[in-house]
Chain A
Amino acid sequence: MKILVPVKRVIDYNVKARVKADGSGMELANVKMAMNPFDEIAVEEAVRLKEAGVASEIVAVSCGEAKCQEQLRQALALGADRALLVETTVELQPLAVAKLLKAIVDREAPRLVILGKQAIDDDANQTGQMLAALLDWPQATFASKVAVRGEEIEVTREIDGGLETLAMTLPAVVTTDLRLNEPRYATLPNIMKAKKKPLETLTPAELGVDVAPRLATLKVEEPPARKAGVKVASVAELVDKLRHEAKVIP
C-alpha cells in the first residue's frame, strides 16, 4: 500500500511570531522555519505503518517555495521513500493545496493520505477535509489512533465527549491529532541517506491546477494586549461587573 504524506513548511513553533510592520502578513524573512508539527506526526504514523508491514511506500509532498525541500528532506530522513515538491511562489490557500494534492493523488494513486489536522501558522484546519471532498473519499479527522485491517481502516478520534471510533474503506484521508504518536528523531545515518532519495519537482501548471488565491487578506494585526485584572471586594461586586461591564450574564 502506498501512503501519501503532505507536509507543510511553517514558522518554527519555538519562534515568537511577529506581524509585519505594514500589517500585510507575518514576518517570515530570516525566521526559523520547520515542518508543521502535526505533519511530523503524520510522517511518523506512515513510517510506523511501513515498519509494521502495512505500507510499502511513503511519498512525501509539499507545496510552496523551493525551500520546502528542507522539510521534504526531513521527511525523507524520518523514513519517507521519495518526495514531490510542487513549486510555486504564489500564496497558497487551503483550497489550492487540496486541489494540488488531488492532482498528486490522481498521479500517484495512494490508498491512504495522512496529513496534519491543521498547520500551526494559519490554523485553518481545512486542507484534509477539502481533499477528501474533492476525491470523494471517506475522511477521519483528528486521529488519535489508526489501525489498518486489509481494506478497512479504523480511526479513533478525539471529540468533546470522549473518543469516537470510525471504520472506513480505503482509500481514505486521515488527519492527525497531537496524541497519535510521538515523532522520532531523525538518525544521523538516515539524514545522510535522505540526500540520496529521489525528490521530484513539479509546478501547479504541470498538474493543471489554478492556485490563484480566492480570498484576500485585508490586514494582519497582533491581538490586543490583555489589560491587567482587578480584585473585587465582594461577590455582589463581581456579579455586578459580570452583568454591566462584561455583559456575560443577563
Chain B
Amino acid sequence: MASYTAPLRDMRFVYHELMDGAALRRLPGYEEIDAELVDSVLEEAAKFCEQELVPLNRPGDEEGCRFVAGEVFTPKGFKEAYAAFTAAGWSALAFDPAYGGQGLPKSLSLLVDEMLCASNVSFWLYVSLTHGAYQAMRLYADEELKARYFPKMAAGAWSGTMCLTEPHCGTDLGLLRTRAEPAPDGSYRITGTKIFITGGEHDLTENIVHLVLARLPDAPPGIKGISLFLVPKFLVHDDGSLGARNAVSCGAIEHKMGIQASATCVMNFDGATGYLIGEPHRGMRAMFAMMNTERLAMGLQAIGHAEAAYQGALAWARERLQGRAAGGAKHPEQPADPLIVHPDVRRMLLTQRALVQGMRATAAWVGEALDVALKASEAERRQQAEDFLALMTPIVKGFFTDLGFECANLGVQVMGGHGYIREHGMEQHVRDARIAQIYEGANGIQAMDLAARKLPMHEGRLAEAFFRPVNEFIAECASDARMAEFVAPLKAALERLRHAVDFVLAQREASEVGAAAYDLMHLFGYTVLAYQWAKMARIGLAKEAGEEAAFYRAKVETARFYMQRILPRSEGLAAALRAGGRSIMAFDDAGW
C-alpha cells in the first residue's frame, strides 16, 4: 500500500529558513502568525491528510464517481472525510476573516495544499475550486453577492466550480455560445452546455456555486463579449437559506485516465437564474482571477504527486533486494543489495528529490509574493509582487506540471513492474498527475502566455522581477569561495536565459515565437530552480556543521546534483530554441 508522510521538516525549512517567515509577520494582518502557529497548523494538517485522506486515495480511484439519474455520488468515505475536513475548519484557511475565514497567509496554505494533493488529489479538487471561485468573487463580485455566498463557501458548506469549456470550444473561449438573457428582476437567464466541469455535481455539499461564462444579447463577438455569472445549484433566499432548485443539471460524468474520484461533469443550463459578476462583457478579466489562482494550484498538485512518488520510490529502493552494487556487494550478508546501491536508481531518486524540493522552494517564493500582493501597504511593493506573479504563473503551471509527471513516472520506473501494477498505488500518481498538464490551460498555452504575453509586457519589465533578485544573490555570493560551484552554473544558466529571452523578443514572426515558447518556458523553469538550489546550498553550507547536520548536508549535496546533473538540460533547450522554428513550420503538408 502507498503511504505518505508530509515532509514537515522540509516545509519548515522553506517557510522559516529559505523564505523569511518572520518578515511575513510584518505584513498587516499577519502579526499573529508566529513560527509556533505555523508549525502547529502544518502538523495538524499533516495528521488529517495522512490519517483521513491517504487511505481513501486508492479506493477512490478504484471505485470512481457514479452518475445516477442526474445525481453524482462520490466514492465511499469521501462524504465523511469532507464533513470532517470542513468541521476542522480547513476549508476556511485562507479565506478573509470578514467572511468567516481564518485569514492565514497564502505561503502557509500552499504547503497545506501540497499535502492535500499528495494525499488525495481528487478530494482536493472539490476544495480547490471553491477557493478559486472565492478569488474571482473577492475581486469582482458586489458586496451583496459576497455577503450571501462567502460565509457558506468559507465553511465548506457550499462548493464552487468554474464553467468555461463548451463542447466546441476549450482553449478558444471567443467561440463560446452560452447565452445570458436579462430578466426583469435584474438577474439573468443562462442557457447553454458546459463540459469538463470539475465538481459540477456531487454529494459533498448542500449547494454548488457555478461561475459561468456566457454572452449577453448585445455582446460583441469573440473574447470581448463574454460576461461572468454566478449560477447556484439551489437559489438562495435573502436570509441565506436554500430555496428552489435552479435550472442547472448534470447530464453525464466523464470516464477518464485519472482523478477518478473527482466528478468531471457535463452541465446543462436551461434558463437557469444567474447573477452578473463584475461588468458586462468583462467576464474574462474576472475569470482570470480564478484561473490564475487555479494555475498556481496546479503547480502544487505537481509537487504533491512528485513528493508522494519520491517517497514511495525511495522506500522501495531501500527495501527491495536486487543485484549487487557495482564494485562489490554492500550487504554481503543478504542475498542481494537493495536497489538504492545502483547508480541509475540513485539518479532517478535524486532527480525526483532535486525537482520536488526545488519546486517546493519556488512555490514558497510565489506564496510570499501572493501575500505581499494581498497585504503590503506600499503600492510599489505590491506592484513588484504582481509583476513576479504574472511572470511565474505560466512557469509554475506549465513547467511544474511537466516535472510532476516526470517525477511520478520515475516513481513507476524505480519500482519496475511493481510500480506498473495498481497494488502499490504508484501508477495512480502517473494517471492523476497527467491532467495537470492539460487543465487550466494546456502547457503549450502556458508557454505562449509566457513568451508572447508576459515577457513583452511593459517593455520586458516582468522578467526583471526574476533577474533582479538573482543578480543580487550572485553579487552577494561573489566572495564566497564555497558557493562558487553553485553560483557559476547559476550565472551561466541566467546568461543563457537572458539570451533566449532577447532572442524570442526580437522575433518578428509570430510563428517563431510560438516555436520557441515551450523551450523557453522550460529554460526559464530550470533557471528558477537553479536559483532556489543555490540559495538552499548557501543555507546548507552555513548549517552543515551544526545541529541536524545530515539534513543540511543533504541540501548541499542535492544542490550539487541539481547543478551538475539537471541544470545542463537548459543547454539543450537553449540550443534547440536558437535553431529557430524553420524546421517546424517548413514541413510540407504533403509529408505528414
Q: Is B41 an interface residue (CB 8 A)?
A: yes
**Interface contact A186-B547, CB-CB below 8 Å:** no
The segment from A70-78, A104-112, A143-151 found at the interface with B is A70-78
Beyond A14-B5, A29-B547, A185-B47, whether A191 also contacts B87 by CB under 8 A is no
A186: chain B residues within 8 A (beta carbon):
40, 44, 88
Beyond A73-B36, A191-B44, whether A185 also contacts B547 by CB under 8 A is no
Contact of A74 among B40, B48, B88, B92 (CB under 8 A): B40
Q: Which of B89, B104, B547, B551 has the most CB of A within 10 A?
A: B89
A interface SS class: helix
**Interface contact B547-A30, CB-CB below 8 Å:** yes
User: In the complex, what's the smallest C-beta–C-beta distance from A108 to chain B, in angstroms?
Assistant: 25
Q: Is A243 an interface residue (CB 8 A)?
A: no
Q: Is B548 an interface residue (CB 8 A)?
A: yes
Contact of B88 among A30, A32, A185 (CB under 8 A): A185
Beyond A188-B90, A188-B102, A189-B89, whether A77 also contacts B36 by CB under 8 A is no
Contact of B92 among A70, A77, A188, A195 (CB under 8 A): A188
Residue in chain B with minimal CB distance to A194:
B40
Contact of A189 among B32, B47, B84, B102 (CB under 8 A): B102
A195: chain B residues within 8 A (beta carbon):
32, 34, 36-37
User: In the complex, what's the smallest C-beta–C-beta distance from B99 to chain A, in angstroms?
Assistant: 14
Contact of B548 among A30, A73, A188, A194 (CB under 8 A): A30
Q: Which of A30, A185, A186, A190 has the most CB of B within 10 A?
A: A185
**Interface contact A191-B548, CB-CB below 8 Å:** no
Q: Is A187 an interface residue (CB 8 A)?
A: yes
Q: Is A192 an interface residue (CB 8 A)?
A: yes
Q: Which of A14, A32, A189, A191 has the most CB of B within 10 A?
A: A191
**Interface contact B5-A191, CB-CB below 8 Å:** no
Q: Is B93 an interface residue (CB 8 A)?
A: yes
User: In the complex, what's the smallest C-beta–C-beta distance from A21 to chain B, in angstroms?
Assistant: 14
B548: chain A residues within 8 A (beta carbon):
30
B34: chain A residues within 8 A (beta carbon):
195
Interface string of A186-207 (1 = CB under 8 A from B): 1111111011000000000000
Interface string of B30-43 (1 = CB under 8 A from A): 00101011011100
Contact of B40 among A29, A30, A73 (CB under 8 A): A73
Residue in chain B with minimal CB distance to A73:
B40
B547: chain A residues within 8 A (beta carbon):
29-30
Beyond A30-B547, A30-B551, A185-B88, whether A191 also contacts B36 by CB under 8 A is no
B89: chain A residues within 8 A (beta carbon):
187-190
B5: chain A residues within 8 A (beta carbon):
14
Contact of B41 among A29, A32, A70, A188 (CB under 8 A): A188
Beyond A187-B88, A188-B88, A189-B89, whether A70 also contacts B36 by CB under 8 A is yes
**Interface contact A188-B93, CB-CB below 8 Å:** yes
A172-194 interface with B by 8 A CB criterion: 185-192, 194
**Interface contact A192-B87, CB-CB below 8 Å:** no
B44: chain A residues within 8 A (beta carbon):
77, 185-186, 188, 191
User: In the complex, what's the smallest C-beta–C-beta distance from B435 to chain A, in angstroms?
Assistant: 28
Bound together, the chains give a CA A30 to CA B551 distance in angstroms of: 10
Bound together, the chains give a CA A118 to CA B263 distance in angstroms of: 46
Bound together, the chains give a CA A131 to CA B5 distance in angstroms of: 37
Bound together, the chains give a CA A30 to CA B36 distance in angstroms of: 17
Residue in chain A with minimal CB distance to B85:
A185
User: In the complex, what's the smallest C-beta–C-beta distance from A246 to chain B, in angstroms?
Assistant: 26
Bound together, the chains give a CA A69 to CA B36 distance in angstroms of: 10
Residue in chain B with minimal CB distance to A69:
B36
User: In the complex, what's the smallest C-beta–C-beta distance from B543 to chain A, in angstroms?
Assistant: 12
A189: chain B residues within 8 A (beta carbon):
89, 92, 102
Bound together, the chains give a CA A77 to CA B84 distance in angstroms of: 16
**Interface contact B102-A192, CB-CB below 8 Å:** yes
**Interface contact A191-B47, CB-CB below 8 Å:** no
B102: chain A residues within 8 A (beta carbon):
188-189, 192
B57-112 interface with A by 8 A CB criterion: 84, 87-90, 92-93, 102, 104
Residue in chain B with minimal CB distance to A189:
B89
User: In the complex, what's the smallest C-beta–C-beta distance from A185 to chain B, in angstroms?
Assistant: 5
B551: chain A residues within 8 A (beta carbon):
30
User: In the complex, what's the smallest C-beta–C-beta distance from B40 to chain A, in angstroms?
Assistant: 5
Residue in chain B with minimal CB distance to A196:
B32
User: In the complex, what's the smallest C-beta–C-beta distance from A71 to chain B, in angstroms?
Assistant: 11
B535-567 interface with A by 8 A CB criterion: 547-548, 551
A14: chain B residues within 8 A (beta carbon):
5
Interface string of A6-44 (1 = CB under 8 A from B): 000000001000000000000001101000000000000
Bound together, the chains give a CA A99 to CA B48 distance in angstroms of: 36
**Interface contact B40-A77, CB-CB below 8 Å:** yes
**Interface contact A192-B92, CB-CB below 8 Å:** no
Bound together, the chains give a CA A70 to CA B92 distance in angstroms of: 23
B93: chain A residues within 8 A (beta carbon):
188
Bound together, the chains give a CA A101 to CA B128 distance in angstroms of: 46
Bound together, the chains give a CA A77 to CA B104 distance in angstroms of: 17
Q: Which of A185, A188, A194 has the most CB of B within 10 A?
A: A188
**Interface contact B37-A185, CB-CB below 8 Å:** no
Bound together, the chains give a CA A191 to CA B92 distance in angstroms of: 13
Bound together, the chains give a CA A232 to CA B89 distance in angstroms of: 58
Residue in chain A with minimal CB distance to B40:
A191
**Interface contact B84-A191, CB-CB below 8 Å:** no
User: In the complex, what's the smallest C-beta–C-beta distance from A109 to chain B, in angstroms?
Assistant: 30
A29: chain B residues within 8 A (beta carbon):
547
User: In the complex, what's the smallest C-beta–C-beta distance from B140 to chain A, in angstroms?
Assistant: 27
Beyond A14-B5, A195-B32, whether A185 also contacts B40 by CB under 8 A is no
User: In the complex, what's the smallest C-beta–C-beta distance from B556 to chain A, in angstroms?
Assistant: 17
**Interface contact B36-A192, CB-CB below 8 Å:** no
Bound together, the chains give a CA A32 to CA B8 distance in angstroms of: 10
Bound together, the chains give a CA A189 to CA B34 distance in angstroms of: 15
Bound together, the chains give a CA A74 to CA B39 distance in angstroms of: 11
A187: chain B residues within 8 A (beta carbon):
87-89
Bound together, the chains give a CA A96 to CA B88 distance in angstroms of: 37
Residue in chain B with minimal CB distance to A184:
B88
A69: chain B residues within 8 A (beta carbon):
36
Residue in chain B with minimal CB distance to A185:
B88
Bound together, the chains give a CA A195 to CA B37 distance in angstroms of: 7
User: In the complex, what's the smallest C-beta–C-beta distance from B347 to chain A, in angstroms?
Assistant: 27
Beyond A29-B547, A185-B44, A185-B48, whether A191 also contacts B37 by CB under 8 A is yes
A30: chain B residues within 8 A (beta carbon):
547-548, 551
User: In the complex, what's the smallest C-beta–C-beta distance from A66 to chain B, in angstroms?
Assistant: 12
User: In the complex, what's the smallest C-beta–C-beta distance from B50 to chain A, in angstroms?
Assistant: 9
A192: chain B residues within 8 A (beta carbon):
32, 37, 102
Residue in chain A with minimal CB distance to B549:
A30
Bound together, the chains give a CA A140 to CA B93 distance in angstroms of: 41
Q: A188-B102, A192-B32 are in contact. List 9 more A-B contacts (CB 8 A).
A: A29-B547, A30-B548, A70-B36, A186-B40, A188-B90, A188-B93, A191-B37, A192-B37, A195-B37
B interface with A by C-beta (< 8 Å)? 5, 8, 32, 34, 36-37, 39-41, 44, 47-48, 84, 87-90, 92-93, 102, 104, 547-548, 551
Shortest 5 CB-CB contacts between residues of A and residues of B: A188-B89, A187-B89, A187-B88, A189-B89, A30-B548
A interface with B by C-beta (< 8 Å)? 14, 29-30, 32, 69-70, 73-74, 77, 185-192, 194-195
A-B contact pairs, 12 of them (CB 8 A): A29-B547, A30-B548, A30-B551, A73-B36, A73-B40, A74-B40, A77-B40, A185-B88, A187-B87, A187-B88, A191-B40, A191-B41
